[in-house]
């Protein structure tokens, strides 16, 4: 009798988080973060409470906000590179804003998001994800 793998499907976990973000379900999004998670992009945010505050504020800037993943690359040791297209309509504005970015995501063995860095330069994000995978390996 073979044992089933307990290693989470990283692409699936990442996809589910994006679905929760697109629903603006902050409780669901936060359930994926490790207690000592680290988020870096526009600013550095550490810990669940601070990340929740950052996300609440970010969501509050937009009347409409959607993230679409163009590409997933699952690297070694729990690291995922996601190329993301972010589209939104800021509160009080008629027009849309668009941003394409790369996210280097580190998942723990038990399926919690430990580290997330966002980069406006996709090549920089790819290099960051590869470095993170090497550090983990």
pLDDT of 43 over the 70 cut: yes
29 within a domain of the structure (yes/no): yes
Q: How long is the chain?
A: 137
In contact, 79 and 86? CB cutoff 8 Å? no
Q: How far apart are CA 99 and CA 16, in angstroms?
A: 21
Each residue's pLDDT tens digit, 45-90: 999 999 999 999 999 999 999 999 999 899 988 999 999 999 999 9
Structurally, how many domains does the chain consist of? 1
pTM of the predicted protein model: 0.87
Question: How crowded is residue 49: how many other Cβ atoms within 10 Å of its Cβ?
Answer: 11
Question: Which CATH number is 132's domain given?
Answer: 3.10.450.50
Q: Is 3 contained in some domain?
A: no
Cα 112 to Cα 3, 30, 51, distances in angstroms: 22, 10, 14
- Domain residue limits at 88: 10-136
């Amino acid at each position: 009798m073979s044992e089933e793998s307990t290693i989470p499907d990283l692409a699936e976990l990442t996809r589910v988080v994006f679905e929760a973000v697109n629903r603006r379900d902050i409780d669901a999004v936060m359930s994926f973060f490790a207690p000592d998670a680290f988020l870096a992009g526009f600013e550095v945010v550490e810990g669940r409470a601070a990340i929740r505050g950052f996300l609440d504020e970010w969501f509050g800037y937009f009347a409409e906000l959607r993230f679409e993943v163009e590409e997933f690359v699952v690297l070694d040791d729990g690291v995922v590179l996601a190329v993301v297209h972010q589209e939104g309509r800021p509160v009080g504005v008629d027009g849309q804003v668009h941003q394409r970015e790369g996210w280097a995501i580190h998942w723990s063995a038990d399926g919690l998001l430990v580290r997330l860095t966002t980069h406006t330069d996709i090549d920089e994000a790819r290099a960051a994800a590869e470095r993170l995978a090497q550090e983990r390996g």
